[in-house]
Amino acid sequence: MKDVKKFSLINGILFIVIGVFIFFKPDAVIKFISYFIGGLLLAVGIYKVVNYYIQDKRLGVVNTNELAFGISAIVLGLLFIFLAGTIELMLRIVIGVWLIFAGIARISNTFYTTTRDSKFFALLIVGFLLVAAGIYVILVSNLVISTIGLIMAIYGLIDLISYFVYKDSFLNTKPKKKEIEVKEAEVEEKDE
């Protein structure tokens, strides 16, 4: 059980550190992820292309699918490496458009209700807030990545707090052995 306890402590600290880093340095995180994915795709693409030519020369087997996959992976890898900032922009646009669409759908569905009570106005306000949030996400750089970092840091903090609050319960999780009282048996002898 000590392993579970250590894991909870290390997990909490790790999530706080990574979350705070992501929150304050979202540009560096986006670049690292883009370069990592780009490098991975580039390596896979080069391997596939080289493997295609080796199979063609040695075995005389021509697999154009492998060559096409290799070239595609190389192109995608180069795009990830050279367009790291654009990937963050595309992510912002996708999430922002999704929020705007969800807000417009909520507003549209709200008008189909027959009653105009407090629920109607609450749903209408939520719809307009979703549209505003979508526009804000599109316009503000690194908001999505910073939010992910904040959520990770909060999760780590909750995990750390729960570790200190419940650490005693981690220590005594093994069931205690019951002591069995053994009485000496008295044996009666029968006369025959």
* pLDDT, tens only, 157-178: 888 887 777 666 555 545 555 5
C-alpha dihedral sign at 116, 118, 124, 125 = positive
Task: Give the span between the Cα atoms of 82 and 116, in whole angstroms.
Answer: 53
Length of the chain: 192
Q: What is the pTM of this model?
A: 0.57
* pLDDT digit string, tens, across residues 105-145: 888 888 877 677 778 888 888 889 989 988 988 888 777 78
**Least trusted range by pLDDT, from 37-51, 93-107, 141-155, 165-179:** 165-179
Distance CA 31, CA 39 (A): 12
Count Cα atoms within 13 angstroms, Cβ side, for 177: 3
pLDDT beyond 90 at 46: yes
In the structure, what pLDDT confidence band is assigned to residue 183 with cuts at 50, 70 and 90?
low
Q: How far is CA 93 from CA 12, 33, 60, 96, in A?
A: 32, 18, 47, 5
Question: DSSP per residue over 106-119, as a string?
Answer: HHHHHTT-S--SHH
> Lowest-confidence range among 3-12, 29-38, 87-96?
3-12
Residue 3 has pLDDT above 80, yes or no: no
Q: Is the model's pLDDT at 155 over the cut of 70?
A: yes
The highest-confidence range among 13-17, 43-47, 105-109, by mean pLDDT, is: 43-47
Name the residue type at position 134. G
Round to whole Å and give the CA distance between 192 and 185: 22
